[in-house]
Amino acid sequence: MEYLYAQDNLSLGQMAARWVAREILACPNLVLGLPTGSTPIGMYQHLTRLAQEGLISFAQARTFNLDEYVGLTADHPQSYAFFMREHFWSKVDLPKGNGDIPRGDVSDLAAECRRYDDAIQSVGGIEVQILGLGPNGHIGFNEPSHNMEIHTHVVDLTAETIQANTRFFPGSEAVPRQAITMGVGSIMRAQRILLLVSGESKRDILTKTLYGPVSTAVPASILQLHTDLTVLTDIKI
Ligand code: GLP
């Protein structure tokens, strides 16, 4: 595991963008797994700047997002599809259709999960995966549970996650109760993983993730088993 320390959230965003920029420069047709949440916003801003200055290009890249809320259309302001359009897809030269995300508004969710896994497989799997860390140790929306799902699946969000994400909605009642998420299989099969963690409130869960027992109670702890994990954080542990 490589541990990179950022002074603050601002420099975390810059460092994450430089890390991704190196990957895309080395491999222009990179298959990149992408997160949402507040932590990666700075990374997207800096990547956008680098792309707009012509220093990097996503013209040949493919991207796959980790997750999406069930029941929200892609134009709902709190959907992750909307987030991605706002922060990345509409700002860089990634061709339309090269950025994929599970659709949470379809009637056949099981078919959508299969479609998503097939789409990832069709390009040979995720090469570089960027992750955030949920306050309860989730990655994507792989929540603490008694088991771990390998494939893309529908998940019931925990009360803690609903509470944590209420800040983005008018109230907790408006937060979707389910999501579609990439499974830990697609994440762990990535050749390289960058885990972004920002803010003192995540100190305990980051410590459990990196140094606690590998357990389904802290899904991110499985990252200890990955052979090429970089942790970029502004928390000194
Ligand atoms: C959501 C997403 C996760 C993300 C997490 C942390 O629940 N499903 O992929 O990592 O939030 O978000 P934040 O960066 O806002 O703390």
Q: What is the CATH number of the domain that holds 189?
A: 3.40.50.1360
Question: Which of 9, 36, 142 maximizes ligand 1 atoms within 8 Å of its Cβ, making it the mutation to test the pocket?
Answer: 36
3-state secondary structure of 115: helix
d(CA 208, CA 168): 26
Q: How confident is the model at residue 215 (pLDDT cuts 50, 70, 90)?
A: very high
Q: How confident is the model at residue 200 (pLDDT cuts 50, 70, 90)?
A: very high
- What token pair was written down for 164? 């944590």
Segment 61-70 mean pLDDT: 98
Q: Ligand 1 center to residue 161 CA distance, Å?
A: 9
For ligand 1, atom 7: residue with the closest CA: 134
For ligand 1, atom 10: residue with the closest CA: 132
Q: Which of 23, 46, 100, 138 is catalytic?
A: 138
In this predicted model, what pLDDT tens digit does every residue of 150-169 receive, in sequence order? 999 999 999 999 999 999 99
- What token pair was written down for 237? 């542990």
Question: Which of 39, 209, 234 maximizes ligand 1 atoms within 8 Å of its Cβ, making it the mutation to test the pocket?
Answer: 39
Q: Which atom of ligand 1 is nearest to the CA of 39?
A: 14
Enumerate the β-bridge partners of residue 139: 142
Say yes or no to pLDDT of 99 above 90: yes
- Ligand 1: list residues with CB < 6 Å: 35-39, 66-67, 132-134, 140-141, 161, 165
Enumerate the β-bridge partners of residue 153: 181
d(CA 66, CA 15): 21
Residue 67: active-site member: yes
**How many folded domains does the chain comprise?**
1
- Domain of residue 211, residue span: 2-233
- DSSP class of residue 202? G
Nearest-Å Rg of the Cα atoms of the chain is 16
CA dihedral 164, 69, 43, 3 (to 10 degrees): 60
d(CA 222, CA 236): 21
229 close to 191: Cβ distance less than 8 angstroms: no
Q: Which atom of ligand 1 is nearest to the CA of 131?
A: 10
- DSSP class of residue 158? P
For ligand 1, atom 1: residue with the closest CA: 37
In this predicted model, what pLDDT tens digit does every residue of 112-151 receive, in sequence order? 999 999 999 999 999 999 999 999 999 999 999 999 999 9
Say yes or no to pLDDT of 214 above 90: yes
Residue 75: active-site member: no
Residue among 163, 229, 234 nearest 11 (CA): 234
User: What is the predicted pLDDT for the residue at 237?
Assistant: 86
ipTM score here?
0.96
d(CA 61, CA 25): 11
User: What is the predicted pLDDT for the residue at 181?
Assistant: 98
Residue 143: active-site member: yes
Strands annotated E in 114-191: 128-131, 153-156, 178-181
40 close to 9: Cβ distance less than 8 angstroms: no
Q: Which of 23, 143, 149, 234 is catalytic?
A: 143
- What token pair was written down for 67? 């997750």
d(CA 101, CA 103): 6
